[in-house]
Structure 1
Amino acid sequence: MTYQLSVNQTQPQVTDGYVSLLTEDDLYLFNEGSHFHLYEKLGSHPVVVNGERGTYFAVWAPNATEVFVKGDFNGWQDNGHRLSLKGNSGIWEGFIPGMTKGSLYKYHIVNHNSGYAVDKADPFANSQEVPPRTGSVVWDTEYTWHDQEWMEKRDRIQALDAPMSIYEVHLGSWMRVPEEGNRYLTYRELASKLAEYIKQMGFTHVELMPITEHPFYGSWGYQTTGYFAPTSRYGSPQDFMYMVDYLHQQGIGVILDWVPSHFPTDQHGLNYFDGTNLYEHADPRQGFHPDWQSSIFNYGRHEVRSFLISSAFFWLDKCHIDGLRVDAVASMLYLDYSRKEGEWIPNQYGGRENFEAIEFLRRFNEAVYKHFPGIQTIAEESTSWPMVARPLYVGGLGFGLKWDMGWMHDTLSYMSQEPIHRKYHHNKLTFRMLYAFNENFALPLSHDEVVHGKGSLIGKMPGDYWQKFANLRLLFGYMYAQAAKKLLFMGGEIGQWSEWNHDQSLDWNLLENPMHGGLQKWVADLNHTYRTEPALHELDFDWQGFDWIDCNDTEQSVISLVRKGKSAEDVVLAVCNFTPVPRYNYRIGVPAEGFWQELLNSDAGDYGGSGMGNMGGKQAEAISQHGQPYSVDLTLPPLAIAFFKLC
């Protein structure tokens, strides 16, 4: 199916004094659910009409009987400036002369049929007041970009055979300014500091937890009210664009966490917008989320689809975002998600699948990949729903990548075991290879695992102080050895002891301790090796890029595997010892003769390890082992992983 863009008309039509940005084509596409550039037409737009500056407004409220614009320009009077209904479209519009960029406003929406009258923020505003204030701000999206080089080569950088190592960040708590009342860094301050750090650490991308405007800071952005507005807590829309632009110029991709699964019930937001359940289902068995106490979008409504896909287009188009991580996909796919029997409505066939949400996700992926072919979409989907990250033409949902939540939970469960007990849980390490190539997976160690009493990553590790660090280095190394893209939440790379707290900065002072500094250096070296060794990323989604050497040594809790690139010369061996007992003269089968150079060893002294290793590598011998024609005789350091490259 081909989706038509809106007419590129950004100057208003004036007919007999009536001002409009909306054409008949706009109305048709909007009402059929195929208008994906609504941010150019709805909301508030500073314009010039007959030489007079002012602002054009347009808002969808089909069941309202009157809609007014109120704000600082008219003393916030409820009935100050009335908008006019545009035909049968359900859109109210109007031009207010003299109202310019920076003006504050809300819509006063009246539904006389239900006796409803309320002030609403503009769903399409590009800027909102700094919370807890909830007014919208007349703004524009004009910005001069300097990232042409990045945009031209982005499709290659983000190809499925390229390395992708993502640093997940909550902007308000990554780094603060304690000497100034613990204030946030601004977008412009973050630009240089974040870029410098990500380059130092070797990550390819930063993933921003939702920066879409949200009234409750403690929701971390997942309770979104402003689907077209970067939060004003850190600056203006142009400040946000500057940050993205700067990161691109430094060779860093930017992924945005995007939440089309639900929205908060705050009175000024989308909920019960025009005196009816406009954006959400009326029946709470379909329209209210029991876990998050929020409203669920009505994906079957054409205009809602236009709204949500236009939001995705806005971030990709106006803000040059490189990818969208779609939150809570499982909650969209299942009608009975987190509901007991009798609390949900089956589909027309009596099943639990949400056909309207499925169609929306497929349409979303088709549209964004068609119009922004260099981007990636990433699904946070926690079930075994088939073909989430598979193309539409084979029946998939069309995502580029899917988080492997099963790997995250199994691996953390295994790593939390005392080493003496790990042999009884060995299958938790190896199980993912039964399904690893069914989807295009990313392995997440995300914020979800260091909140709500779960503790920090290093806090989950067993053993004494030294062993905790060794275990965490081993966990990170095992993740990078696996066939998949990578994601790590901020703070994990420095071994933060405390659980993540959105109200304070990461504990950067920990890096004064050499064990924390060693862990950070280990992650940086992992990233460097991952990016420079084709064997560790080229065939992440192809079974030909992975072989177990031995996954059955449960008694000693040792596993060994080989990663391969497209070229036969690109081969990397990874060997993990999940116990604190060193293994001497441990023979490992290898697929080829030659010298196997030790690339990385998590037990090296530079990382805080004991310094045990293999003196730079080992020569393969013509002794068959593990079904391989050659083998190497290795020393396996305690609680460590070592990578070897065939030279």
Structure 2
Amino acid sequence: MALNVQATNTHPKLYKIRGAQYCKDNGLTTFRVYAPNAKAMCVILTAYGHEEVRLKMQKIGEGIWEVVSNQAPPGRTYLYLVDDYNGKRMLRIDPVSFSIIDIAEARQVQSVVYDPTAFCWNDQTWMMKRALTDPLRSPLSIYEMQPKLWKNGVYRPTNYRQLAPELAIYCQRMGFTHIEVFGLLEHAYKTERGYQVTNFFAPYHDNASLHEFDGTNLHASDASCWGTLYLDYSKEETYRLLFASALYFLDELHIDGIRFDAVSQMIRRQSNDISTAIGFLCKLNETIHRYYPGVLSIAEETEGYPLLSQTMGFDMKWNIGWCNDAMNLLRTPYCERSNHWQEKVLNMLYSAKHNHDKMILTLSHDDTDCHHQNPEKSLLNCVSHTQNDIERFSDVRNFFGWQTFGPSRGHMIHMGDKVAQPVSWYHRFRHGLSSIDWSLSESATLHGRTQEYIADLNKFYRYHPQFWQNGEQDFEMIYEYKPNLIVAYHRGIYNQRRMAIIHNFSNRGYQSYHISLPMWDPDIARIQKVVEIFNSDNPMYGGSGSFHNENITIVFRHGRAIIFRLTIPPLATLVLEEQLN
């Protein structure tokens, strides 16, 4: 591949010209690497971890080193030997490695020459469909998982080829529409969540360092609050490397979305909230939306930075505040919940249509990560104020109903939470266990029934456009009564069917309860019949089954429905279908 010197640094898709570029036509491999502060560079071709061939690289300008070899076919392992001006000699893996392997004999990781043409995609139909589909008007039910932890834990990592079909079948059975993978990139520390990335192109294998590649700090700036280094977006190399990494996963791996972590830290580190990271995010999101239609760009941001969609081009944002409030409500004894009714329940509902950013209601790995607070932190253990398991699991089911049907653009559940396991995924992981206690999901216990509930919840949501065709804009409040901890709201109309959602956050059930309808609702005059179509108190989910509505009475006045009279279970979510004329 003939390239001018400037192209090696300015090409937006650096992965096409950096790293080990193998040419099938002539059998040659061109090695290119950016090391502006190196005095000398060599490529070390290895066999079984030991040096076999040493190739001296030439500096071709602008910090780029290059060498061409006919001795490096696909599968060949290699390292860079870097000499700096202080007389220090370092072995480094390739920062643009597409594959990394652990060489047991050498007790180190090494880069592998890879032929990107060896795999041929056959998903053209899906890619065309994705480009023609508006993701903001489509169902979004995300399963968040970590590949190395999903099945076998840290000591028996699963092969990606074995993992993929099993994971796809499982998520299809559970009704999820998307999978969010974290810890996918090569990162430091086997006991780490995968955020300390060491290579932005290779999938996770083991520890390999990108920091101080040529003896200087090429990509980072100051230390973060997590004890790691911040990426410095004012450095052109950092900007281009991360930009190219995103395009690589879009072009070569056909991912359907990117979630940006800790956006607050990216944009607030410099005075007046002005940072080169903002320019990076704007440019990348613009590129994604222009050249990759149908791909989602999602922000995780914790400080309430306004207008992420309008100012930086994100499609959606995690509603972290909702999760904090919902989990705190679970922790609150039933007799005290009315004291927190406004901030934990009503604020989310009344603000939904007025949020400038489109929100996803998330329960992420961070939310049930034990950190240093509670070694057994989990969603189920939030309900520690009662020892009644029926109530605890009912409360958890109501939480998921609140998450799924509440006004939003979608929802996300982290692995392990769908079975309401009593011990934190991270606590199990740190003790050498699978992060998910799969024995719970395979049983007929309340844990197994919770998993079936999640599956039915996802499928119900997916098959009813009222919840996702217009997102949070298809929301209207019906009724709320703080003393009884009951709230009801509408979610959209489709084929003359409108959904009415009712949540009971108390442990009291009602055999005959009146829900007053708002007189300003223009559609109440069209209501002909109301039927219950979903009930979290169903015995198949571990509920009592004693509060099922065979018939719902409608009280009319002057031809308009004014009251629904129905049965409401304790700690439950009901979905009613209003049939309109």
Number of the residue aligned with 1:86: 60
Following superposition of structure 1 onto structure 2, how do residues 128-277 of structure 1 map, counting pairs within 5 Å?
128-130=100-102, 133-142=108-117, 143-157=119-133, 159-176=135-152, 183-232=156-205, 269-277=209-217
Amino acid of the structure 2 residue aligned with 1:528: K
How far is the alpha carbon of 1:272 from its aligned partner?
2.0
Q: Equivalents in 1 of 2:361, 2:530: separation in Å?
A: 27
Question: CA, structure 1 residues 433+174, in 2 after alignment: closer, same or farther (shift >3 Å)?
Answer: same
Aligned-pair CA distance for 1:614 = 4.0
Q: Which moved more, 1:401-410 or 1:354-363?
A: 354-363
Structure 1 residue 277: Cα displacement: 2.0
Tell me how far 1:520 sits from its aligned partner: 1.3
Aligned match for 1:504, one of 433, 436, 460: 433
SS in 1 for 2:563: strand
| Offset of residue 225 of structure 1 | 1.0
Residue 559 (structure 1) aligned with residue 487 (structure 2) = yes
User: Structure 2: how far apart are the matches of 1:133 and 1:157?
Assistant: 45
In the alignment, which residue of structure 1 is the partner of 2:520?
none
- Distance of 1:100 and 1:78 partners within structure 2: 14
Residues in 1 aligned to 2:94 and 2:56: alpha-carbon distance in whole angstroms: 15
Q: Deviations over 1:150-201 (max 9, x none)?
A: 1111145552011100011111222129xxx962322122222111111111
Give the SS at the match of 1:218: coil
Contact 1:211–1:221 at 8 Å: present in 2 too? yes
Q: Which amino acid aligns with 1:301?
A: K
Q: Matched residues in 2 for 1:370 and 1:93: separation? A: 33
- Structure 2 CA distance for partners of 1:640 and 1:433, relative to 1, 3 Å: closer
Q: Could you say which structure has the higher strand fraction?
A: 2
1:574 maps to 501
Gaps of 5+ in 2: 518-522
1:455-493 C-alpha deviation (Å, 9 max, x unpaired): 111111242111111000000001112111100001111
| In structure 2, distance between residues paired with 1:280 and 1:516 | 44
How far residue 24 of structure 1 moved from its aligned partner, in angstroms, is 5.0
Partner residue, 2:295: 375
For residues 55-454 of structure 1, the aligned pairs below 5 Å read 55-72=29-46, 80-87=54-61, 89-112=62-85, 114-130=86-102, 133-142=108-117, 143-157=119-133, 159-176=135-152, 183-232=156-205, 269-281=209-221, 287-291=222-226, 293-335=227-269, 346-347=270-271, 351=272, 353-390=273-310, 396-427=311-342, 428-436=344-352, 437-451=355-369, 452=371, 453-454=373-374
* Residues in 1 aligned to 2:549 and 2:510: alpha-carbon distance in whole angstroms: 15
Letter in 2 for 1:201: M
Contact 1:595 1:617 in 2 (8 A): no
CA contact (8 A) 2:45 2:72 kept: no
CA deviation after TM superposition for structure 1 residue 76, in Å:
5.5
1:602 pairs with one of 533, 536, 547: 536
After superposition, give the CA deviation of every residue in 1:405-440 in whole Å (9 maximum; x if it has no partner): 111111111111111111111121121235423211
Distance 1:581 1:206 in 2: 37
Partner residue of 1:531?
A: 462
AA aligned opposite 1:120: R
**SS state at 2:422 partner:** coil
Report the alpha carbon displacement of residue 43 of structure 1 after superposing the two structures with TM: 0.4
CA contact (8 A) 2:364 2:413 kept: yes
**1:471–1:640 Cα contact (<8 Å) kept:** yes
Specify every segment of 5 or more residues in structure 1 that has no aligned partner in the other structure, as ranges.
Answer: 1-11, 14-21, 234-265, 282-286, 336-345, 391-395
Displacement of 1:612 after TM fit?
A: 2.5
Distance 1:122 1:635, change over 3 A: same
Which amino acid counterpart does residue 65 of structure 1 have in structure 2? K
Residue 490 of structure 1, aligned match among 409, 415, 422:
415
Identify which of 479, 501, 504 aligns with 2:403.
Answer: 479
What is the CA RMSD across the aligned residues, in angstroms? 2.4
- Give, in whole Å, the separation in 1 of the partners of 2:433 and 2:252: 31
- Cα deviation for residue 586 of structure 1 reads 1.5
User: 1:595: Cα distance to partner?
Assistant: 1.4
Q: Deviations over 1:79-138 (max 9, x none)?
A: 932211123x211111122122222222122221x3333222111000112397322111
What amino acid maps onto 1:72 in structure 2? T
Determine the C-alpha separation between the residues in 2 that align with 1:185 and 1:303.
Answer: 33
Q: Would you say 1:547 and 2:547 are equivalent positions?
A: no
What letter corresponds to residue 574 of structure 2 in structure 1?
A
| Structure 2 contact 484–506 (Cα < 8 Å) conserved | yes
Q: C-alpha offsets along residues 31-66 of structure 1, whole Å, 9 cap, x if unaligned?
A: 4xxx321111000122368x5x34210001112121
CA distance in structure 1 between the partners assigned to 2:63 and 2:230 by the alignment: 21
Sort the Cα spacing of 1:476 and 1:118 in 2 relative to 1 into closer, same or farther, 3 A: same
Q: How has the CA–CA distance of structure 1 residues 490 and 73 changed in structure 2, closer, same or farther, with 3 Å as cutoff? A: closer
1:247 counterpart residue number: none
8 A contact 1:70–1:76 mirrored in 2: no
User: Matches of 1:23 and 1:60 in 2, distance apart?
Assistant: 15
Other-structure match for 1:26 = 7
Q: Report Cα offsets for 1:610-641 as digits up to 9, x if no partner.
A: 113343341422159xxx95221011101111
> Partner of 1:588 in structure 2?
515
SS in 2 for 1:189: helix
Please give the secondary structure, in 2, of the residue aligned with 1:174.
Answer: coil
Cα distance in structure 2, aligned partners of 1:148 and 1:554: 52
User: Distance between the aligned counterparts of 2:225 and 2:176, measured in 1?
Assistant: 36
- In structure 2, distance between residues paired with 1:574 and 1:381: 29
CA distance in 1, matches of 2:156, 2:51: 34
Higher mean C-alpha displacement, 524-533 vs 128-137: 128-137
C-alpha separation between the residues in 2 aligned to 1:387 and 1:153? 29
Query: Residues 104 and 152 (structure 1 numbering): CA distance in 2 closer, same or farther, change over 3 Å?
Result: same
Name the counterpart of 2:566. Answer: 634
- The sequence identity of aligned pairs, in percent, is 30
For each residue in 1:549-595, what CA deviation from the matched residue of structure 2 results, as whole angstroms up to 9, or x when unmatched? 123x1111111111114x58241111111111112321113452221
CA distance in 2, matches of 1:572, 1:417: 29
Is residue 478–residue 488 contact of structure 2 (8 Å, CA) maintained in 1?
Answer: yes
Moved more, 412-421 or 494-503: 494-503
Instruction: Name the count of aligned residue pairs.
Output: 552
1:36 — aligned with what? 12
Matched residue SS, 1:65 = strand
Give the corresponding residue for 1:522. Answer: 453
